[in-house]
Structure 1
Amino acid sequence: MENKTIKWGIIGLGKIANKFATDLATIENATLVAVASRSKENAIEFAAKHNATKAYGSYTDLVNDTAVDAIYIATPHSFHKEHTLLCLQHKKAVLCEKPFAMNLQEVEEMIAVAKENNVLLMEALWTFFLPHFNYVLELVKNEKFGKLKNLEADFGFFPVYDETSRVFKKEVGGGSLLDIGIYPIFAALSTLGKPNSINANAAFFKNGADAECTMVFNYNDAKATLKSTLLENTPTQAIFTFETAVVKVNTKFHEPSTVTIIKNNTEETIDFSYKTIGYNYETEHFNQLLREGKKESTIMTFDFSKTLIKTLDEVRVLIGLKY
């Protein structure tokens, strides 16, 4: 099993699936064998672009393909549970794009079905696996610059408002919070842990989707100020203030980036020499879990996924956002 080639399928063939497939092609002992879309034409086009051997116009046809070991789910948020359960019930390992699902109840159901079927399941929050972010996590853990006292993290861009676009569609989990707010929240949870309390405010589009969300996570000896917005382009940085230094993850902090350390009025920027889009890191981890017969990630654990979605649920209650 050590060098077993993992044969992948993809459900949902949008922008992020293209990025995933592009990076999958850079990984040894992994191959894309099948893709599925509600549109057979889209599937055929995607398969040709990424050298997949099979293109399905039905998700059910894909999960019934015995050649497929693992399936990456990249459909809109509101379909994550349904499509994950479909795969798990057909004994397919699942890497499901973030957010894992729409709420804690759905996530708990997905985890339960994975355990019932003894199948590997993991939330695809790629930032957790990127070298630059792991560098920061190590600084927090070993307290090289003392304790982490403050975090400021934002994610904002300004798309043209279009109610037909997935980004704005409330019924599929559109809006700023689940789509991009998850990243600043992830930055806080992965470095400072669960907050003691949360303050949150939001502005909304006319269709009820959240246009932006500002949050403050309060800890005993620290604070995280977080923001997601679809109303403006923001620096999309994560600034970690330690006792003796400031560590800045430069734009865009959630994807392959550089890290600047500011200490004693001097700055040092570390370049991690990324050569891919960045999706290969989570995929290589997942492939190794599958080869070793593991059913849960040691990094993106079920507990962490549950804490993440529970925190998103809490923020939604605070801002009055219901799907």
Structure 2
Amino acid sequence: MTELRWGIVGTGGIASAFTTDLLATGHSVAAVGSRTESSADDFASRFGIATAHGSYAELVADPDVDVVYVATPHPSHAADAQLAIAAGKHVLVEKSFTVNEAEARAVQTAAADAGVVVMEAMWTRFLPHMVRVREIIADGTLGDVRTVIADHGQKLPSDPQHRINNRELGGGGLLDLAIYPVSFAVDVLGLPSRILASATMSGTGVDRQTALIFEHEGGRQSMSQSAIDARGPVRAAVIGTDARIEIDSWWYSPTSFSVIASDDSVIERFEQPVVSRGMQYQADEIERLIEAGESSSPILPLEESVAIMGVLDEVRRQIGLSYPGE
């Protein structure tokens, strides 16, 4: 494979985590771009990146960059992705993919027109334990899969000015936390045919706590809850008629799980150490797509990322949450 060179758009915490994993696993990071030269310079210095750009436009125009990682706040994802697409770059867009389905569809269309690969950075899908979960489901060990349950409650900063509490920045649990169990449910059971959502809003107008029940094809169900101010067990389960998978805490990050039969005997215990944080697997996948000349990942098709934004649109309609400009 030809070594593909990454450009990082944004210099926040998630950009740092992803860059750390890229460098720890042999990927090439050629440049970083920020809204200010000082921020780009600081990021480049910390990670030993050769080139720092004081604007996103300069970053995507850099001829030494092949693929761009968009790590800006949610409301900027669509515009920043399209900026990179217009420059002919392949793009990995941090989840949630955009803030709504209309934006997601526009990015998808732009990518198709430009002939570049665009993928959502839902890193959980590509982790070793999730690869094994899908194998177990496919081989019939669980019998008829009936239910997916997932929790994602965290104790996040309460400062009203923090991004997570700022509606103008796409704050709240939905786009940051609930996106994980929603994507997981769709991965296992397909898109929902019926959606029931309930939420409690914060004083800043974002969803503080949200509970979701989805009905999927064949009467199957998924249930999830997310919260930005209360740490939950952060566990998940896939339940079938013959057995279940219980995924240990921080289920969406590298972790372990057990396959348990209906009589509570353990069929399989999965434990596999992962280098660094594990975000490199999504980078491996988009690089594979680029090298193979494929346009969309079978693990996370772009059309599915777009459709998931439509699911979240319906959740927001039910709980009365809108973002500026909508």
Into which bin does the TM-score normalised by the smaller protein fall? over 0.9
TM-score by length of 1: 0.96
Tell me, in whole angstroms, the C-alpha distance in 1 between the residues paired with 2:299 and 2:260: 28
Q: Deviation at 1:141?
A: 2.2
Output aligned runs, 1:1-323, within 5 Å: 3-28=1-26, 30-219=27-216, 220-263=218-261, 264-267=263-266, 268-323=268-323
Contact preservation (8 Å) 1:77, 1:99: yes
Distance in 2, matches of 1:154 and 1:81, equals: 28
Distance in 2 (CA, whole Å) between partners of 1:160 and 1:7 is 34
SS in 2 for 1:25: helix
Gaps of 5+ in 1: none
Alignment check: 8 A CA contact 1:32 1:51 kept = no
SS of residue paired to 2:164? coil
Q: TM-score, normalised by structure 2?
A: 0.95
Q: How far does residue 207 in structure 1 lie from its aligned partner after superposition?
A: 1.5
| SS of the residue 2:98 aligns to | coil
Aligned residues of 1:27 and 1:284 also touching (Cα < 8 A): no
Identity of aligned residues (%): 32
Structure 2 counterpart of 1:265, one-letter code: D
Question: Following the alignment from structure 2 to structure 1, what is the Cα–Cα distance between the partners of residues 284 and 50?
Answer: 21
Q: CA deviation at 1:183?
A: 0.5
RMSD: 1.3
3-state SS of 2:322 partner: coil
What are the Cα deviations for residues 113-157 of structure 1, in whole angstroms up to 9, with x where unaligned?
A: 111111111111111111101211222222212011122101011
Give, in angstroms, the shift of residue 32 of structure 1: 0.6
Structure 2 unmatched runs, 5+: none
Distance in 2 (alpha carbons) for counterparts of 1:221 and 1:90: 45
- Equivalent pairs, count: 320
CA distance in 2, matches of 1:151, 1:236: 13
SS of 2:286's equivalent? helix
Distance 1:266 1:241 in 2: 15
- For 1:52, the aligned partner's letter is I
Looking at structure 2, the residues matched to 232 and 163 of structure 1 have their Cα atoms a distance apart, in angstroms, of 16
Query: Shift of the alpha carbon at 1:172?
Result: 1.4
Shift of 1:296: 2.4
CA contact (8 A) 1:140 1:147 kept: no
SS at match of 1:161: coil
